[in-house]
Amino acid sequence: MNTSQPQGPLGDELTNLGIGVLLGAAMLALVLRVAGAVAAWATGIAQPVGGAASGISVLANPGNPSLALQAPGLNPLAYWLTAGVLVGGVSAAAILVWRMLRDSGRGAKPDPLRIPGIATRTDVTRAASHKALMKRATHLRPSLTHASPGDIGYRIGHSRGTAVWASVEDSILVIGPPRSGKGAHIVINAILDAPGPVITTSTRPDNLTTTLRARQRLGPVAVFDPQQLAAGIPVGLRWSPIRGCEDPLTAMIRAAGLAAGTGLAAGGVDGGGFWEAKTRTALQALLHAAALGRCPPIELFRWTLDPTAAHDAVAILLSTPAAASGWADSLQAMLEADPRTRDSIWQGVSLALSALADPRVMDAVSPGDGEGFDPEEFLHSHGTLYLLATGAGANNSAALVSAFVEDLVETARRMAARSAGARLDPPLLLALDEIGNLGRCQRSWRRAAARVSRRCRCCSRSRRRALNGATMQLAPSGTHRSSRSFSAAHPTRATCRTSRRSSASAMKPPTRQRSVIAAPVHRNARSAVSRSCRPTRSAPSHSAPASSCSARPHPSSHACACGPSAPTPKSS
């Protein structure tokens, strides 16, 4: 019967250590013995007659190696000089062989820190070190005479032993799989360290529960949670999309945010840009009319459900002297257009405010007396605004959050234009967590980055919906601030992606034909797309079926884009 017990990890380590010691001793004995032979040859005496084991015996009497090696007349100085040279040469050869074996093993699994495009220690020191940040202090915060690093930037972590800092005017895109620490290592720390106002979005209350009390000590805190995703937290802020739309410019900005939330221009819809523009034009007129007529959000929602009901908005615009010139005529022309065109436009309008069908969302956008929200005062008081919503589900309110953020960013831009140096001081932090699953970053947000001098952190948990215009990819690691690492690379941009929309995908611009444009993709892209045209169902507007072009992941070298011009291609 076998009674031997299997060895554990410690037993294996001791065995390996013992084998290594024996091999090292044997190698040392051989080198010392060879050193005796070389020294005897160099000094012109007889060769030693001792065996290989005599090399170890030399260590017992280092002052007289001739006795152990049985080499009478061997000079001790010549022997030890020769032994030192041989030991050094053998050690260097062993290190060289070990490095060659290590590098050959890396051929199959490349080191991520050595990939071309990843920042080296020199790059980090030059662009993102503490010293590089402090050189820009006067430019970043001209109001501070003795600024600290925390006043003008955020410490992201460490890379190759160097602390990595990002200034308050840098924009960063963080891409990573779920549970990889994007929020814990990047977003939450940025919210806690922000010297000024903060606007943060998320689809979960993680960031809210972690940073709420800390931000309350710095200024007012508001939570806009129309879907009530944060259990146990009061409804909080009520914000109406009609607020301030008496001003035509505000109505246009608000409509742009709501229309962008529909995703019509993102692909998957024939002439999506055309229909989003029409949706935006109709929404701005409806918002303007609702504000001038002091209508509640429920009345605005009724207009979006039925084009016939929207004639009330036309009447308000025609009877109000303060109404924007031409907006009533534009809205009336849409309502009196061909039924197919009108219904297609109204699909986008109803989609933009479809979340209002949920009574909870309707309550969140219906502020009572004294519940008005002044974004300029909120930003001046270093407030923190948490926006919680989802981009999926029947009651998703991503479009409302998109419009809300658009309103706040435009307010910050106007404040910056009136400030010294046209910079918002202290800067505004936009910590847009889960923005890839929530909505789309408007072009005006990115254009305002340089003018507002704010910090925009976008943490996307969905690669296929990552924001456009990314310049860096951050890879945090570890559980503590002092152990985080940083790397920067240029991520591959996707120019077309799979998109399976609702019945709105059958929309077609009137009197125009769809075109398919093939654009090359960078050869290093990991995945490209291929084109396929297939019949689609007609829209509820009773428009005729057509062929729509969609893109699906495929190892190809072309991308697909649809536009409202050029001949219609033949479908296979």
Where are the domains positioned within the chain? Answer: 23-104, 503-563
Alpha-carbon span 562 to 270, nearest angstrom = 6
The distance from CA 318 to its chain's CA centroid, rounded to whole angstroms, is 46
| Helix, strand, coil share (%) of the chain residues, nearest 5 | 45, 15, 40
Report the percent of the chain where pLDDT is more than 70: 72
Q: How far is CA 367 from CA 233, 298, 356, 375, 388, in A?
A: 18, 12, 14, 15, 18
pLDDT digits (tens, 9 = 90+) for 308-361: 999 999 999 999 999 999 999 999 999 999 989 999 999 999 988 988 998 988
* DSSP element (H, E) containing 283: helix 272-292
pLDDT digits (tens, 9 = 90+) for 520-565: 333 333 333 333 333 333 333 333 333 333 333 333 333 333 333 3
* Contact assessment for residue 32 and residue 55, using Cβ atoms and an 8 Å cutoff: yes
- pLDDT over 80 (residue 482): no
Q: Residue 559's beta-bridge partner residues?
A: 519
- pLDDT over 80 (residue 511): no
Between 79-93, 141-155, 341-355, 556-570, the lowest mean confidence (pLDDT) is in: 556-570
Tokens representing residue 258 in the block: 């709501």
| Predicted pLDDT of residue 25 | 84
The phi and psi torsions of 433 (rounded to 5 degrees) equal -75, 145
More confident residue, 249 or 562: 249
Other Cβ atoms less than 10 A from the Cβ of 244: the count is 20
More confident residue, 1 or 77: 77
Alpha-carbon span 53 to 553, nearest angstrom = 68
* Contact assessment for residue 550 and residue 534, using Cβ atoms and an 8 Å cutoff: yes
More confident residue, 113 or 126: 126
- pLDDT over 90 (residue 282): yes
Alpha-carbon span 277 to 265, nearest angstrom = 9
| 248-260 vs 398-418: helix crossing angle, rounded to 10 | 140
| Predicted pLDDT of residue 259 | 87
Encode 123-142: b = buried (16+ Cβ within 10 Å), e = exposed: ebbeebbeeebbeebeebbe
Alpha-carbon span 429 to 405, nearest angstrom = 12
Q: What is the DSSP letter of 128?
A: S
| Predicted pLDDT of residue 11 | 60
- pLDDT over 90 (residue 407): no
| Predicted pLDDT of residue 211 | 93
- pLDDT over 50 (residue 24): yes
- pLDDT over 50 (residue 476): no
- Averaged pLDDT, 162-190: 88
- pLDDT over 80 (residue 512): no
- pLDDT over 70 (residue 184): yes
Between 87-96, 177-186, 540-549, the lowest mean confidence (pLDDT) is in: 540-549
- pLDDT over 70 (residue 245): yes
Encode 466-481: b = buried (16+ Cβ within 10 Å), e = exposed: bbeebebbbbbeeeee
pLDDT digits (tens, 9 = 90+) for 29-72: 888 888 888 888 888 888 888 887 787 888 888 888 888 888 88
Give the contacts of 528 (CB within 8 A, at least 6 positions apart): 521, 554, 555, 556, 557, 558, 559
Alpha-carbon span 171 to 187, nearest angstrom = 13
Length of the chain, in residues: 572
| Predicted pLDDT of residue 294 | 93
Tokens representing residue 421 in the block: 């140096």
Global pTM reads 0.61
